[in-house]
């Protein structure tokens, strides 16, 4: 199925205006983020979707027919029948750590092509990066305890697969989303609902029924009526499983004072010789609540996080943008930038690269430079992934992307991972970039504002 119309109308109207005026120079656009919603860093995600889109981008007959009904020029629509993306793309690999103003993706193509892909690129990168970053914060707060993503029922419609994929990149260990398990190979996990417990005449009957059905994967929900009494009944069923040569895997708390309840439940389990039984906690958790529970000494082995994780709360969207930075006219590069009274909305001109200085395995600072510059003793962060419209990079597996993210997060000093009050990671502009920006600002003021 064609994805060509998964775009904003104004991309297509601009394309027709470019076409009719014969204005189709080579253009470079940067995808970057102005401001990070929580914390100091981003975990990039969503690039795989963009590459698949680029490879398959074309207008089908029914797309052309629909655009005809919207008043587009007949000759322009003929042009779209042979449309393909022919440009180059450089990007930070998925699972990279990025900071404000850094080009995460750099697109260079005829301006009609570069313009069309903007909406899809923003849609995929903004959402996946938001959720992967959120997941990394939740995982960091848990301090080594596993995070299971339980958010399918609260996810934003069909975005659930993208959300679950992003949480796995960000470090979550499993998901309740069975379709994600099948399609993406993510480990699936789950326990039972309160409805299962209450459907039986007695709580212990529900536990025994579940243990009979899943003797090797038995997790019991113990807070339906009273968590302490539920834990005592779980001990009975755990002992019954032992007699059959099996083990109770865990119990789940979903309400109440999770810190104190987990300590009490741990004592009950340990005193009964069930020290191997894990305690799972869930119930509107997020990174701040998990951090508080850990600080209180909660005896929780695994956290289930749903709504807060897959929706990116408290931020509904990432402020990622896609801005023109350079056009080639008469074989000359003409750096472009947006100038605004709102300083944060001004952009950086020219074709750029991003470099990272690493010492003893830790990130020290980044430098944004012009394309032709080389920053010595620094690692280039942008890699060419598309050349002349063809994907030229190896497509990493989801597991490889997750591992890449984990390695990069381990190299980011902990001070930048603080949930609140993290300092701004140093991102510098090269001298040549600063000088170019000053020249372009002066040019705009003289030619456009005087």
Give me the pLDDT at residue 448, please: 83
Give me the pLDDT at residue 158, please: 85
139 and 18 housed in the same domain:
no
| Main-chain dihedrals φ then ψ at residue 279, nearest 5 degrees | -110, 125
305 and 323 housed in the same domain:
no
Long-range pairs, 368-374, Cβ under 8 A, ≥24:
368/101, 368/102, 368/103, 368/427, 368/428, 368/429, 368/430, 368/433, 369/429, 369/430, 369/432, 369/433, 370/430, 370/432, 370/433, 370/436, 373/430, 373/432
242 and 324 housed in the same domain:
no
144 and 273 housed in the same domain:
yes
Would residue 127 count as lying in a domain?
no
Q: What does the alpha-carbon distance between residue 325 and residue 31 come to, in Å, rounded to a whole number?
A: 10
263 and 145 housed in the same domain:
yes
299 and 157 housed in the same domain:
yes
Residue 81: Cβ within 10 Å count: 12
77 and 195 housed in the same domain:
no
CA angle 380, 381, 383 (to 5 degrees): 95
Judging by beta carbons within 10 Å of its beta carbon (0-12, 13-18, 19+), is residue 430 exposed, middle or buried? middle
Q: Are 211 and 237 in contact (CB under 8 A)?
A: yes
253 and 400 housed in the same domain:
no
Running along the chain, 450 residues long, what does each successive block of 10 average in pLDDT? 91 97 96 93 98 96 97 96 97 98 98 97 98 98 97 90 98 97 96 96 98 96 97 98 97 97 98 98 96 98 96 93 94 88 78 97 97 95 98 96 98 97 96 94 85
Alpha helices, DSSP H only, in 152-248?
160-169, 178-184, 194-198, 203-213, 227-243
The CATH number of whichever domain residue 199 belongs to comes to: 3.20.20.70
Would residue 3 count as lying in a domain?
no
Would residue 1 count as lying in a domain?
no
141 and 103 housed in the same domain:
no
Give me the pLDDT at residue 340, please: 73
Give me the pLDDT at residue 5, please: 97
- Dump the DSSP string for 13-24: HHHHHHHHHT--
Would residue 165 count as lying in a domain?
yes
Q: Which residues neighbour 79 within 8 Å (Cβ) at sequence distance 6 or greater?
A: 19
Q: What does the alpha-carbon distance between residue 405 and residue 371 come to, in Å, rounded to a whole number?
A: 26
57 and 31 housed in the same domain:
yes
The CATH number of whichever domain residue 445 belongs to comes to: 3.20.140.10
- Range(s) of the domain holding residue 53: 9-120+319-449
Give me the pLDDT at residue 13, please: 98
- 343 DSSP 8-state letter: G
Nearest to 192 by CA among 146, 249, 256: 249
Q: What does the alpha-carbon distance between residue 158 and residue 61 come to, in Å, rounded to a whole number?
A: 26
The last residue of one of the domains, among 281, 310, 339, is 310
Residue 256: Cβ within 10 Å count: 15
Q: What does the alpha-carbon distance between residue 253 and residue 227 come to, in Å, rounded to a whole number?
A: 7
Nearest to 121 by CA among 254, 235, 37, 7: 7
Report CA-CA distances (Å) from 218 to 240, 329, 360: 12, 67, 44
Domains of the chain: total: 2
Give me the pLDDT at residue 148, please: 97
Give me the pLDDT at residue 447, please: 84
145 and 292 housed in the same domain:
yes
Preceding amide of 314 cis, omega within 30:
yes
Q: What does the alpha-carbon distance between residue 387 and residue 86 come to, in Å, rounded to a whole number?
A: 8
Sign of CA dihedral 212, 213, 215, 219: negative
305 and 218 housed in the same domain:
yes
């Amino acid at each position: 199925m064609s994805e060509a119309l998964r775009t904003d109308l104004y991309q297509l109207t601009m394309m027709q205006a470019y076409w009719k005026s014969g204005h189709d120079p080579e253009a470079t656009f940067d995808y970057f983020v102005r401001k990070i919603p929580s914390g100091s860093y981003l975990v990039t995600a969503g690039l795989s979707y963009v590459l698949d889109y680029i490879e398959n981008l074309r207008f089908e007959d029914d797309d052309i027919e629909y655009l005809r009904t919207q008043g587009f020029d007949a000759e322009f629509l003929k042009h779209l029948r042979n449309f393909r993306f022919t440009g180059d793309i450089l990007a930070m690999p998925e699972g990279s750590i990025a900071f404000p103003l850094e080009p995460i993706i750099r697109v260079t193509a005829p301006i009609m092509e570069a313009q069309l892909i903007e909406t899809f690129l923003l849609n995929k990168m903004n959402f996946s990066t938001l959720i992967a970053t959120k997941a990394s914060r939740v995982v960091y707060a848990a301090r080594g305890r596993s995070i299971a993503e339980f958010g399918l029922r609260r996810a934003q419609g069909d975005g659930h697969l993208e959300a679950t994929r992003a949480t796995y990149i960000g470090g979550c260990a499993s998901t309740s989303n069975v379709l994600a398990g099948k399609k993406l190979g993510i480990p699936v996990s789950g326990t039972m609902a309160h409805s299962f417990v209450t459907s039986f005449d007695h709580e212990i009957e529900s536990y025994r029924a579940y243990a009979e059905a899943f003797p090797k994967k038995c997790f019991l929900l113990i807070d339906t009526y009273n968590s302490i009494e539920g834990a005592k009944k779980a001990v009975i069923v755990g002992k019954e499983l032992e007699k059959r040569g099996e083990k109770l895997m865990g119990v789940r708390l979903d309400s109440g004072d999770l810190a104190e309840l987990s300590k009490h439940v741990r004592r009950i389990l340990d005193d009964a010789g069930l020290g191997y039984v894990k305690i799972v906690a869930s119930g509107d958790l997020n990174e701040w609540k998990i951090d508080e529970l850990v600080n209180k000494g909660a005896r929780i082995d695994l956290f289930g996080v749903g709504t807060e994780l897959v929706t990116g709360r408290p931020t509904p969207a990432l402020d990622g943008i896609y801005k023109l930075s350079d056009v080639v006219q008469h074989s000359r590069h003409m750096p472009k930038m947006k100038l605004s009274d709102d300083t944060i909305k001004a952009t950086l001109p020219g074709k750029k690269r991003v470099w990272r200085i690493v010492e003893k395995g830790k990130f020290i600072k980044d430098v944004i430079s012009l394309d032709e510059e080389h920053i010595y003793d620094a690692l280039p962060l942008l890699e060419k992934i598309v050349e002349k419209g063809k994907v030229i990079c190896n497509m990493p597996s989801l597991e490889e992307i997750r591992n890449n993210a984990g390695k990069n997060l381990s190299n980011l000093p902990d001070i930048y991972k603080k949930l609140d009050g993290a300092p701004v990671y140093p991102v510098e502009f090269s001298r040549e970039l600063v000088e170019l920006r000053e020249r372009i600002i002066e040019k705009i003021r003289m030619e456009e504002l005087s």
